[in-house]
Amino acid sequence: MIEREAVIVGAGPAGMAAAIALCEAGMEPTVIDENPRVGGQIYRRPPAPQRRGEPDAADAPSQRGIELHRRFNGHRDRIELLAETPVWGLFPPGIVATGGDGGSRLISARQCLLATGAGEYVPPFPGWTLPGVMTPGGAQSMVKSMSVLPGRRAVVAGSGPFLLVVAAQLHDAGVEVAAVVEAARRRDLLRHGAGLLASMPMLREGRRCMRRLRRAGIPLLWGHVVVEAAGAPELSRVVIAPCDAQARPDRRRARSLEADTLCIGYGFVPRTELAQMAGCRMSYAEALGGWIPEVDEHLATSVPGIRVAGDGGGVAGALVAQLEGMLAGLAMARRAGRLDEGAWSARRRPVARQLAALRRFRSALDSIYRVRPGLVDLPGKDTLVCRCEELTRGEVEAGIANGGTDVRTLKVITRLGMGPCQGRMCWPAAARLIASRTGRSMSRVGPASVRPPIHGLCLGDLCPGPAEGDGEPAAVGAARQKGPT
Amino acid sequence: MGSGQESSRQLPQGAGRADQHRCGPAAERGRQVRFRFDGRAIAGCEGESIAAALAASGHRILRYTGRRGEPRGVFCNMGICFDCLVEIDGRPNQRACRSPVVEGIEVTTQQGVGRKDGA
């Protein structure tokens, strides 16, 4: 088994910041990411063979990304980077199981940071499985990282400030954006406006984004939801309707927008599979996107040696992720005896202060863009809830009526979540459906169960290869020329 | 992946359709990579995913589901949802969004769980 002092899973803003902090303390972290390049979803760069310039440096998030990449690259010789390496399991006491083209490896980590990020939340609605319907993040990465337009005319819908960013990027790339459809109402913005003042730079970024949309003539429809995506065999029409505070649509006032692309997401769900598998104590935090591992002020979970930073510990955005990553990195260096108390607390204090201000800002955003209960009634009886196993709302409700009153039992009764996505796309919606039909709380409905492997894995990858034993994980990268297998 | 030193000056004739779905200067794209999708020639760019190359050439249906026979395409584009499954050189259940284009591969629309005689 390979042994490492500090292992970071995920090379988004949290993982990169943690790696930088560890390097600055003289350590040599191992960073594992399933993507070919570091940056995570938000600071993702074009694939290596494509030589596009830096993104628009005038835009503050891009600037932060550029700076983070620069600092990470500055320490590149101290970082053992395992790219294109998915982690499929985490076993006590800190054994990280990796896959990928190089085969399966076990890395025993003295300290481990999970910086696994978040996935988008798309509650089901009629037509949401049609080709042409995708997540805003998916459309963004197609444009930003691949320079490919997901379609010609798009509706961007759901809830959250991310929609504004994606709409502006699609527009700049040449997609005609028909409208941004936002479930929150303008008055929610006013009601929680005071909290937004806690972070003037973030507030300015938001206003800048809204100005860009206005200049581009893209209507921003507050208090509207998408009630249906239609077309055959691909998306051609998006039906929207105004909604009330619970996001219940007024269908009599529904209207159609022509579009070949619908980018829809209602915020994010933390990716916590590894924390769950490690046995970290979890709790349900609706405002932070769902089930999250409980952490102390040093981001340590209930399992010794395992910390969590960034959206994977509760959705709060890239800037918070970066600051948390830094805190986690400092705490790991201190624990390893590479940072004395004085240096540690001097470096930690300003970061903690920034985080406190951002949390006030975030909690205002969380109130404005909360997941509204009316979304649970958007799917019709025949609308699929589980995309993989093709289970309709009617079938899922029958399962609930037959005793599937928590996610795990519902899974056994209906097969919900037993397809290749392992429930990642459907359990948050299924859990809310259970809660709404039974009156139980989300914490009682429970999280989905997690078992290894959390990614598809070929049986052949589990067979010991010739390099098993003391093989250097760096060799994994070298064995990666054969393309898709 | 190779170095992608050459610019893609020579995108094929007939790739006009593909170019309408691309943005940014052609010179910054990776070298051209040719592959086939259901027998049709597709011009992708080195470094991009099969999902992106197919989207760029206007192909959005990547598979048909097993139970209801419904078309599916790219949904999350980050490897989580497994909706963009295609067959690559006869191997079923490959995520188009995570698989890079490679010269000469045969990509096919997947039916259900894929061909049993694959792999």
Cα–Cα distance measured from residue A54 to residue A57, given in angstroms and rounded to the nearest whole number: 7
Gyration radius (Cα) of chain B, Å: 14
How far is the CA of A241 from the CAs of A248, A356, A432, B10, B90, in angstroms?
A: 9, 38, 22, 47, 44
Do the strands A153-158 and A261-265 form a parallel or antiparallel pair, or are they unpaired? parallel
Gyration radius (Cα) of chain A, Å: 22
Cα–Cα distance measured from residue A109 to residue A107, given in angstroms and rounded to the nearest whole number: 6
CB–CB of A49 and B4 under 8 A? yes
Interhelix angle A393-401/A427-438, nearest 10 degrees: 50
Helix (H) or strand (E) holding A367: helix A341-368
pLDDT tens, residue by residue, B89-98: 999 999 999 9
Cα–Cα distance measured from residue A146 to residue B20, given in angstroms and rounded to the nearest whole number: 14
Residues of chain A with pLDDT under 70: 51-59, 464-485
Q: Which residues are within 8 A (CB) of A73 and not within 5 positions of it... i.e. 6 or more apart?
A: none
pLDDT at res. B19: 64
- ipTM, 2 dp: 0.91
Rounded to two decimals, the pTM is 0.91
Length of chain B: 119
How far is the CA of A192 from the CAs of A265, A268, A338, B9, in angstroms?
A: 22, 20, 43, 52
pLDDT at res. B11: 38
Residues of B in contact with A234 (CB under 8 A): 60-61, 71, 73
pLDDT tens, residue by residue, B38-72: 999 999 999 999 999 999 999 999 999 999 999 99
CB–CB of B71 and A149 under 8 A? no
CA torsion through residues A41, A42, A48, A51, sign = positive
Q: Do B70 and A234 form a contact (C-beta atoms < 8 A)?
A: no
Residues of B in contact with A149 (CB under 8 A): 21-23, 55-56
pLDDT at res. A61: 76
In this prediction, residues B72-97 reach a mean pLDDT of 96
Residues of A in contact with B28 (CB under 8 A): 50-53, 147
Length of chain A: 485
DSSP state for residue A59 in the 8-state scheme: S
Three-state DSSP class for residue A80: strand
Q: Do A10 and A116 form a contact (C-beta atoms < 8 A)?
A: yes
